[in-house]
Amino acid sequence: MQKNTYRYEQTAARLLVEGYPDLSASQTNDSIGILSGWRLQLVAAPELEGTREHLEALMAVVMPYARHCLSGVRRPFKTEQGFVSIGPDSEAHQLQLRSSREGVDPLALRLDDAELSDLVRCLDRLRLDQRVQLSWELPADQPLPRHELVERIPLRRRFGPSFLGGFALAATASIALVLPLPPQPQQQGVEATGPRSDAPIDDAPIDTEKSPLTER
Amino acid sequence: MTDVPQQSGVRLGRRGIERLDLLLLTIEALDLNGGEAMLWTSQQMGMQTQFPNRVELWKRRCHNPLRRTTRREPMAPVDAESLICLVCAMAERLYPMLHQLLSSREPDQLTQQRWNLLDERLRDLVEERMNPRRGAVMRLLDPMFSAEIQRQLVGTLALVAGPGGIDRLRATLLDPTP
- Is B176 in Cβ contact with A69 (below 8 Å)? no
Amino acid present at A184: Q
Q: Show the CA angle centred on residue B139, arms to residues B133 and B141, nearest 5°.
A: 85
ipTM passes above 0.85: yes
pLDDT tens series, chain A, 216 aa: 788 999 999 999 999 999 999 888 888 888 999 999 999 999 888 999 989 999 999 999 999 999 999 999 989 999 888 889 999 998 899 999 988 778 888 899 999 999 999 999 999 999 999 999 988 888 889 999 988 888 777 777 777 888 899 999 999 999 998 888 888 876 555 555 555 555 555 555 555 555 555 544
Domain that holds residue B35: 14-172
Residues of chain B in contact with residue A140, where contact means CB-CB under 8 angstroms, are: 167
Distances (CA, A) of A1 to A29, A134, A152: 8, 18, 51
In angstroms, the separation between the Cα of residue A66 and the nearest Cα of chain B is 7
Q: Show the CA angle centred on residue B34, arms to residues B20 and B67, nearest 5°.
A: 45
DSSP H helical ranges for B45-76:
54-61
- Using CA atoms, how far apart are residues B17 and B19, in angstroms rounded to an integer? 5
Answer yes or no: is B1 within a domain: no
Taking residue A206's Cβ as centre, other Cβ atoms within 10 Å add up to 8
Distances (CA, A) of A149 to A154, B137, B172: 11, 22, 11
Mean pLDDT of B111-128: 96
* A16 vs B: CB within 8 A: no
Report which secondary-structure segment, H or E, holds A110.
strand A107-111
CATH topology of domain A4-144: Transcriptional Co-activator pc4; Chain A (2.30.31)
Q: Which residues contact B168 (CB under 8 A, 6 or more apart)?
A: A66, A67, A70, A141, B159, B160
- Sequence ranges of the domains in chain A: 4-144, 145-176
- Confidence (pLDDT) at A182: 81
Residues of chain B in contact with residue A73, where contact means CB-CB under 8 angstroms, are: none
Burial degree of A156 (CB within 10 A; 0-12, 13-18, 19+)? exposed
Q: Which residues contact B50 (CB under 8 A, 6 or more apart)?
A: B42, B56, B78, B79, B82
Phi and psi (nearest 5°) for A39?
-135, 140
Residues of chain A in contact with residue B155, where contact means CB-CB under 8 angstroms, are: 69, 113, 117
- Confidence (pLDDT) at B7: 62
- Confidence (pLDDT) at A83: 86
Contact between B96 and B13 (Cβ < 8 Å): no
Residues of chain B in contact with residue A112, where contact means CB-CB under 8 angstroms, are: 102-105
* Structural domain count, chain B: 1
Distances (CA, A) of A59 to A90, B46, B96: 22, 31, 23
- Using CA atoms, how far apart are residues B3 and A177, in angstroms rounded to an integer? 70
- Helix pair B166-173, B77-93: axis angle to 10 deg: 130
Distances (CA, A) of B175 to A144, A153, B19, B97: 6, 15, 11, 27
- Confidence (pLDDT) at A78: 92
Distances (CA, A) of A104 to A39, A130, B43: 18, 35, 53
Residues of B with CB under 8 A from a CB of A: 95-96, 98-100, 102-105, 152, 155-156, 158-165, 167-172, 174-176, 178
Q: Which of A112, A113, A121 sits opposite B161 (nearest CB)?
A: A121
Q: pLDDT class for B6, splitting at 50, 70, 90?
A: low
Answer yes or no: is B5 within a domain: no
Contact between A70 and B169 (Cβ < 8 Å): yes
- Is B178 in Cβ contact with A153 (below 8 Å)? yes
* A120 vs B: CB within 8 A: yes
- Confidence (pLDDT) at A16: 96
